[in-house]
Structure 1
């Protein structure tokens, strides 16, 4: 037999392929180790923050909006508690049944119910959905008392804007509303606050023009959430900075009175302190209820406002433009005096019409006024006199004087749509209409017609500058964040003082001369005489045939075809303190429709309340007595002022 032998021992050796494979494995293991080190050491803080963000939500807290007050501290826009009811679907169970039970406690409008059901389908089950808001205390208490029987229903308390004065201050203060889709798109994500559900911003008036001041800065809330995004607890809260409060120059009592005085008219009143430019009243009638816009105005109410021919949403004091009519004659007079083409003694004859070529320009007095000086022409508002001096001086000089007096200028006020007006020139007409200027255009401008347009604000500024000889500018904000702004000192007006005195004398005669067009509007109290100027601006063309047959009276025309009535005034004459302008749309004559309003408002400013009846002319006392005996709805009952016909504290006292 053969002998068994063990197999030969083979030597171990690595092939090239084995080395490559081992090297690859080592490389992979090294890369993994390096990556693990990077994740655990170098990027540990970054991933810790990412994990924290998944666990913690940071939410913006809307700041309290700054409040708005009048010059005496009366609230005009405040933040009131807003009680709202929210529903959480995952806690409610049968949502329809819960809404039915809630509807037996408080009123839920059908459109609100539809919106709730729509929002519930869109949002996660744990996200609260607003059912209704702005509950009164009784409804709030009723829901709270029945909370155990209303699963998923909760009541929250927030802040909402409220305007205690309603329509009286609506055009000045304005209102806030929810951020619209258009505003969100235009913002392009620059304002994180806009992403907060139901966040409100200013939509009109001071609310929108001073939005940055009133809004404030957002706070932050860090909330812990679970894996499904449900809130677990609030970890920290940093309250934001509230908006700054504003104090306006408006005197609420005078504003209320002016609005009440305009009741039933489409009209505007501007009352100004001529020493500082403070706007004491900016009344545009009719007003509107701003709280409707905060709470969400109905389609029916919106259509009612839009279809109203009196245009309640328009702030006529600053955006309404009207031919100023004869109230513009002071501008023409000063332009002619400054150019040296007329003086205060020259007489110009008025026979009732002014011939230019084969065309006649008529005076309001068909039989004419006879020989007229500057003072007489202003007092009796002779059109022929101003046709002549306008032709002499030319429209460019008239326009230059208008700008110096604040007409045809966009004044800097925190209000939307502050109109610039039109003080036309030759170049303006060519640029606007591609037409040459005609002498007939100059004659029309000489009596405040044609292309000339001014707002009640322009007319008040013009009157204040004539009264003081200073370049008074209107001001609406008196203080900010509890700090009063310094009273401005207007610079001297670039107009000869002697010429201003001549024009002021003519304005005094308008009210106080026996032949003045507004004699019934005079003030009888000693030392408190009022100066003014009436105006009537046409809104239709009177044909030659109508003049031959007799011009149709305003009261016989449809309302929209009647003339506008205007009046400007300042008082006291010897120490001017207040200027007032009034425009009554389609009111007829300035002396009959507008001057009594200006008289009442300026006397109310002088006395700081109802003046005594003895301060009125005897033929006006019955009118005033009737107003006080039968106050209009929502107007405070008035009593006579002190027996002494002078204001308590004297004329020109501060109303601050």
Structure 2
């Protein structure tokens, strides 16, 4: 049956309306899609281009060259030398163990280094280069480069490694560098990104550690393009970093080497200081060690040998070692008493060989005693009883005050590790640290540098320089940074009576130049360079009454570790002091026999700047000195040749 015209018209109207709705919806959807595509392709084009670039471009840090270290004449102490190494990038390596197996057929891999590399590969980001072989030869690098297609993720690299051409001579002063450890990172609040690079090296001890921020420099960056497999295709650009600052020290290479050689065979330390500026000209502790071993990664056997050595090669005895100063402290006691008006330089004290204090005998080193002694003779012959008497008059507090004025019991500001404060005791110190009252016997012991008194060779050198000049000379180790001088600390008068100081200096002169002086055998003959000094012998054991009754054992009859320490301090020339010297020989016995000859030789070497003429020495010593100079020169030449071979 045919539908009415009116129904057909209504049906067509409905279809047209639906089509318009659907078409409009489709058009709107296409429009939105087009707008989104425009937003993504036009408005966000730069961002997506950047994301694409990041997928094929890596940014690497470039470690800066570490600042070099020079002596006062510009001669190298620490430098950087080229070093070849082989790295692996984990995310490019595929089967890591298979890759290491293939690499080991081309290059000898150290098991310890390889184990450390495995740990780093496991914990660090996959795109971080990890060193698996360091200090390899050019031949090793060539073999790896030729086989590069079969070694995905393996990259040969040329870097810089720290080298110390002077070997053990500066091991305690300069220290050494080593890879950053977890302990190092824990110590730093906000670690530099450089420190997170595997095997990146920082200062571990000594100047290298104390001036780490100055020496390290700032990292550079490079952008490299990599392919889909992660292999570097090309370097796009590079921004060079900033090399660390060069540091020039006050030390003198030639003198430092001589002092180290002169102390060879002893557990000893010596400091040479400029009396005017405070510049440290030499600062040697023996035995030393080769810092290059630590840079390369010291073996357990080598490290155990250092730890087990009874002469203790690792600590820096010049600033870290503290010892009873013995009779070198007597100038402090004398100055305290003289400045306080407790004694006149010409007043005499009778020495029968001991002084009885509170029912206890305090003995003089000379059992029969010295008889009547004044200030001059007491220092010249090192009478103990004279100083017991002075100390009981002046008291420990004024002695301690004088000691600190002369630089003892003070932690001097130097960029070295573990600079000791020493110990200058007084009544308050004993009450607070020991919970005990100060006793009169403590004062007697302190008078001759025994008991609780402790000082370092550096402090003794400072004391001697201040006695020589009457000024507050302070030690200085760094002369300049990147050519900009670090000025010496300003000095001022100690406020001591110059007439009293002259008396002390005159008595010290007699120690070395009077026939009865304790160091007369180690005098300097050259009139222009004559020295003033003081011997010291510090006990490391108690001598019992029974032992005194049967006769005190001689040092040479005792085990090494029970023998007395030997000390000597001096300044020269006497008329116009240039250098102050302090020497300690651990368990060396007497200061006059063990320490004074060494100090005399060092003083002459410092003043002449080369091997002194034989006529500067007493005639009886000249043959021995000639042989000694030849042996020392031969030793230094061998050391220089060995360092050249290692470099």
The answer to whether structure 1 residue 102 and structure 2 residue 106 are counterparts is yes
Cα offset, 1:94, TM superposition: 6.0
The answer to whether structure 1 residue 144 and structure 2 residue 145 are counterparts is no
Q: 1:127 to 1:217 in 2, by over 3 A?
A: closer
Equivalents in 1 of 2:501, 2:190: separation in Å?
55
Equivalents in 2 of 1:505, 1:227: separation in Å?
84
Q: What is the aligned partner in structure 2 of residue 491 from structure 1?
A: 492
Equivalents in 2 of 1:27, 1:397: separation in Å?
99
Contact residue 92 and residue 98 of structure 1 kept, 8 A: no
Contact residue 174 and residue 290 of structure 1 kept, 8 A: yes
Q: What is the aligned partner in structure 2 of residue 312 from structure 1?
A: 313
Cα offset, 1:92, TM superposition: 11
Q: Which structure 2 residues correspond to residues 152-171 of structure 1 after superposition, within 5 A?
A: 152=151, 155-171=156-172
Q: 1:334 to 1:176 in 2, by over 3 A?
A: same
Q: 1:97 to 1:183 in 2, by over 3 A?
A: closer
Cα offset, 1:6, TM superposition: 5.1
Contact residue 106 and residue 140 of structure 2 kept, 8 A: no
| More divergent stretch after superposition (583-592 vs 520-529) | 520-529
The answer to whether structure 1 residue 454 and structure 2 residue 455 are counterparts is yes
Cα offset, 1:369, TM superposition: 0.4
Give secondary structure in 2 for the equivalent of 1:316: coil
Give secondary structure in 2 for the equivalent of 1:635: helix
Equivalents in 1 of 2:47, 2:455: separation in Å?
64
Cα offset, 1:47, TM superposition: 5.2
Contact residue 66 and residue 242 of structure 1 kept, 8 A: yes
Cα offset, 1:234, TM superposition: 1.6
Contact residue 126 and residue 230 of structure 1 kept, 8 A: no
Equivalents in 2 of 1:93, 1:537: separation in Å?
61
| More divergent stretch after superposition (568-577 vs 24-33) | 24-33
Give secondary structure in 1 for the equivalent of 2:529: coil
Cα offset, 1:562, TM superposition: 0.7
Q: 1:29 to 1:392 in 2, by over 3 A?
A: farther
The answer to whether structure 1 residue 343 and structure 2 residue 341 are counterparts is no
Cα offset, 1:288, TM superposition: 0.5
1:461-501 Cα deviation digits (max 9, x unpaired): 00000001111000001111023334555222221111111
Contact residue 130 and residue 198 of structure 2 kept, 8 A: no
Q: How many pairs align?
A: 627
Give secondary structure in 1 for the equivalent of 2:540: coil
Q: What is the aligned partner in structure 1 of residue 643 from structure 2?
A: none
Cα offset, 1:130, TM superposition: 3.5
1:136-159 Cα deviation digits (max 9, x unpaired): xxx424652785467537643211
Cα offset, 1:317, TM superposition: 0.3
Cα offset, 1:311, TM superposition: 1.1
Contact residue 219 and residue 241 of structure 2 kept, 8 A: yes
Cα offset, 1:204, TM superposition: 1.0
Equivalents in 2 of 1:27, 1:327: separation in Å?
101
Q: What is the aligned partner in structure 2 of residue 375 from structure 1?
A: 376
Contact residue 168 and residue 256 of structure 1 kept, 8 A: yes
Q: Which structure 2 residues correspond to residues 70-109 of structure 1 after superposition, within 5 A?
A: 70-86=71-87, 89=93, 95=99, 98-99=102-103, 101-103=105-107, 107-109=108-110
Contact residue 275 and residue 472 of structure 1 kept, 8 A: yes
Q: 1:564 to 1:127 in 2, by over 3 A?
A: closer
Q: 1:93 to 1:213 in 2, by over 3 A?
A: closer
Cα offset, 1:232, TM superposition: 3.2
Contact residue 520 and residue 619 of structure 1 kept, 8 A: no
| More divergent stretch after superposition (359-368 vs 120-129) | 120-129
Contact residue 77 and residue 163 of structure 1 kept, 8 A: yes
Equivalents in 1 of 2:336, 2:28: separation in Å?
96
Q: What is the aligned partner in structure 1 of residue 641 from structure 2?
A: none
Equivalents in 2 of 1:22, 1:550: separation in Å?
124
Contact residue 512 and residue 523 of structure 2 kept, 8 A: yes
Cα offset, 1:34, TM superposition: 8.5
Give secondary structure in 1 for the equivalent of 2:318: helix
Unaligned stretches of 5+ residues in structure 2: 16-20, 639-647
Q: 1:258 to 1:524 in 2, by over 3 A?
A: same
Q: What is the aligned partner in structure 1 of residue 421 from structure 2?
A: 420
Q: Which structure 2 residues correspond to residues 286-365 of structure 1 after superposition, within 5 A?
A: 286-365=287-366
Q: 1:565 to 1:30 in 2, by over 3 A?
A: farther
Give secondary structure in 1 for the equivalent of 2:600: helix
Q: 1:109 to 1:13 in 2, by over 3 A?
A: closer
Q: 1:101 to 1:541 in 2, by over 3 A?
A: same
Q: What is the aligned partner in structure 2 of residue 641 from structure 1?
A: none
Q: What is the aligned partner in structure 2 of residue 438 from structure 1?
A: 439
Contact residue 223 and residue 231 of structure 1 kept, 8 A: yes
Q: What is the aligned partner in structure 1 of residue 644 from structure 2?
A: none
Q: What is the aligned partner in structure 2 of residue 204 from structure 1?
A: 205
Equivalents in 1 of 2:594, 2:26: separation in Å?
102
Contact residue 471 and residue 491 of structure 1 kept, 8 A: yes
Between structures 1 and 2, the one with greater helix share: 2
Contact residue 131 and residue 199 of structure 2 kept, 8 A: no
Equivalents in 1 of 2:284, 2:591: separation in Å?
18
Q: Which structure 2 residues correspond to residues 392-407 of structure 1 after superposition, within 5 A?
A: 392-407=393-408
Q: 1:201 to 1:118 in 2, by over 3 A?
A: closer
Cα offset, 1:535, TM superposition: 0.3
Q: What is the aligned partner in structure 2 of residue 477 from structure 1?
A: 478
Cα offset, 1:603, TM superposition: 0.4
Equivalents in 1 of 2:288, 2:492: separation in Å?
35
Give secondary structure in 2 for the equivalent of 1:318: coil
Equivalents in 2 of 1:401, 1:444: separation in Å?
16
Q: 1:125 to 1:575 in 2, by over 3 A?
A: closer
Give secondary structure in 2 for the equivalent of 1:134: strand
Equivalents in 2 of 1:465, 1:37: separation in Å?
83
Give secondary structure in 2 for the equivalent of 1:567: strand
Give secondary structure in 2 for the equivalent of 1:276: coil
1:385-419 Cα deviation digits (max 9, x unpaired): 00010111111101111111000001010111000
Task: State the Cα RMSD in Å.
Answer: 3.2
Equivalents in 1 of 2:368, 2:545: separation in Å?
16
Q: Which structure 2 residues correspond to residues 564-643 of structure 1 after superposition, within 5 A?
A: 564-631=565-632, 634-636=635-637
Give secondary structure in 1 for the equivalent of 2:571: strand
Equivalents in 2 of 1:120, 1:597: separation in Å?
53
Q: 1:49 to 1:619 in 2, by over 3 A?
A: same
Equivalents in 2 of 1:4, 1:546: separation in Å?
145
Cα offset, 1:28, TM superposition: 9.7
Q: 1:390 to 1:242 in 2, by over 3 A?
A: same
1:84-122 Cα deviation digits (max 9, x unpaired): 24568569996466445425xxx5444455666777788
Unaligned stretches of 5+ residues in structure 1: 15-19, 638-656
Contact residue 259 and residue 283 of structure 1 kept, 8 A: yes
The answer to whether structure 1 residue 536 and structure 2 residue 540 are counterparts is no
Contact residue 404 and residue 494 of structure 1 kept, 8 A: no
Q: What is the aligned partner in structure 2 of residue 272 from structure 1?
A: 273
Equivalents in 1 of 2:509, 2:482: separation in Å?
42
Q: 1:38 to 1:613 in 2, by over 3 A?
A: same
Cα offset, 1:285, TM superposition: 0.2
Cα offset, 1:23, TM superposition: 13
Equivalents in 2 of 1:239, 1:309: separation in Å?
48
